[in-house]
Amino acid sequence: MSDPNHIIRPPFKRVTQQDPSLQQKIAQYVAQVLGKRESEVKIRLPLPTLFAGKLRICGGGDFFRTTAVSRRPAAPARRNCYYEVILEAHNRHLVRVIGYGDLEKIFVLTLPSNKFFTSLSGKTLVLALITPWNTKGKDAASENTYLLSRRATIVTDVRSLKAVVGLVPVGKWWGIIDRMSAASAQGFVDMGTWEGTPEENESETEDVDKLFYT
């Protein structure tokens, strides 16, 4: 599985101890992908090998920072992301779900070469831990959308991350601005200055280590 368009960037940190909560979230994700029981996956999961603080989508894509390396970790508008995941509905049809949330962690996981993991056997995955926002299912690209509350964290593939979104205070809520949509920005044009932009001055040619899917 190769994806040279998503590149993780420093700071890097080796994983030295288990985080039970994170392992459970990883097991939930892998079990969903493989169609297996979470308990069976969990007992076979290795620890992640590496945490990364940043992610670049090449070809003019966005530059993401995790909350841990954000310059303003206490600010309400942290490193915010727009993501898409594909879920199987009750009628077994696949549906695309749009979400927004806080990008908490980016990490690397290499699964064992074991037939239990079928198509993922021996694969290296780059995954993200996200705290989804409750937006009542709205899409900021087409209508005014607000961060109403935060939900339980989830793990997903970093390729689900699409863009950095902005936040603008609107009364007691935060309005979400999809930077790729002119309609979204216009909807909040008179409500203040939004935050959460990517670091536009970061260079894609910066001489740092790169890690791709393998």
Sign of torsion over alpha carbons 20, 46, 211, 15: positive
- Is beta strand 94-110 parallel, antiparallel or unpaired with respect to 50-57? antiparallel
Torsion angle, CA of 137/142/145/151, rounded to 10 degrees?
A: 30
Sign of torsion over alpha carbons 209, 211, 212, 214: positive
Looking at the chain, which runs of residues are DSSP E strands? 6-14, 50-57, 63-65, 80-88, 94-110, 124-134, 146-147, 149-150, 154-157, 161-164, 166-170, 173-177
pLDDT digits (tens, 9 = 90+) for 84-105: 887 665 556 677 889 999 999 9
**Collapsing DSSP states into helix, strand and coil, what is residue 29?**
helix
- Mean pLDDT for 32-38 is 95
Q: Which amino acid is at 75?
A: A
Q: Which residues pair with 84 in a beta bridge?
A: 98
pLDDT digits (tens, 9 = 90+) for 132-183: 999 999 999 899 999 999 999 999 999 999 999 988 899 899 999 886 654 4
Task: Report the mean per-residue pLDDT for the chain.
Answer: 81
Whether residue 48 is preceded by a cis peptide bond, meaning omega within 30 degrees of 0, is no
The backbone torsions φ and ψ at residue 115, rounded to the nearest 5 degrees and listed phi first, read: -60, -20
